[in-house]
Amino acid sequence: MAEVALRAEVGRMLGSRGSRRLRAEDKVPAVVYGHGIDPVSVAVQRRELRLALTTDAGMNALIDLEVDGTQHLTIVRDVQRDPIRNRVTHVDFILVRRDEVMTVEVPVVVTGSAEAVRREGGTVDQVVFNLEVSATPGNIPNEFVVDVSGLAIGDTIRVDDLDMPTGVTTEVDPEEPVVIAQITRATIEAEEMDAEAEAASEAAAGEGSDGS
């Protein structure tokens, strides 16, 4: 996994007034902690943070964070957002080591179109959107891609079916469904109505022949 460089400014003013001031300067308040160091309050440029978190690795990007002239290998542990504007309001950076195993959530991305399922009036339902895995920072996958093109009604893709890279493990039950191809409730009800209508039609036809 490629690393992203980001510079953090130290000595920011704390409290709501300081946060408002930073946001007015298009900066995001943040904190750096981990591996026994005291938490350090910093600030990062909003644009640079956005670029760091929009690589293929997403929220699991390895960030080479410069703090007061010292480089720290980090990942983002938590992001707080404004509930209305959805803008990032605070970030937690946690220090990591290249050889340590850490637990993170990796997105599950569904691709392809299950034509056989569609023709039968079914749907492909994604059950798992993020999978918790353990790996060293450099081995964390960007995402798990699930191709549903070959699915038919009744098929299920489970955790055990995912392409798990070398050095990546998960504690999630391997039988846990990730994607399920199933018939929709509307289709079931329509088939039941058709069956009832056909049975009623046959019954009416039988009564007519008896009376002839």
Of 166, 93, 175, 178, nearest to 131 (Cα)?
178
In one-letter notation, the amino acid at residue 70 is: T
| CATH class of the 104-188 domain in this structure | mainly beta
What's the average model confidence in pLDDT over 176-180?
95
Of 63, 26, 69, 64, nearest to 45 (Cα)?
26
Q: Give the rounded distance of the alpha carbon of 101 from its chain centre.
A: 20
Tell me what pLDDT residue 110 has.
Answer: 95
Taking the CB of residue 102, how many other CB atoms lie within 10 A of it?
16
Residue 14 DSSP class? P
What's the average model confidence in pLDDT over 185-210?
54
Q: Which residues are CB-neighbours of 42 under 8 A, at least 6 positions away?
A: 8, 9, 10, 12, 29, 30, 31, 32, 67, 93
Tell me what pLDDT residue 17 has.
Answer: 63
**Rounded Cα distance, 107 and 128, in Å:** 9
Highest mean pLDDT pick, 40-44, 138-142, 159-163: 159-163
Residue bearing the bigger pLDDT, 199 or 178: 178
pLDDT in tens, 123-132: 899 999 999 9
Choices 2.40.50.140, 2.40.240.10, 3.40.50.150, 2.40.110.10: CATH for 3-96: 2.40.240.10
User: What are the extents of the domains in the chain?
Assistant: 3-96, 104-188
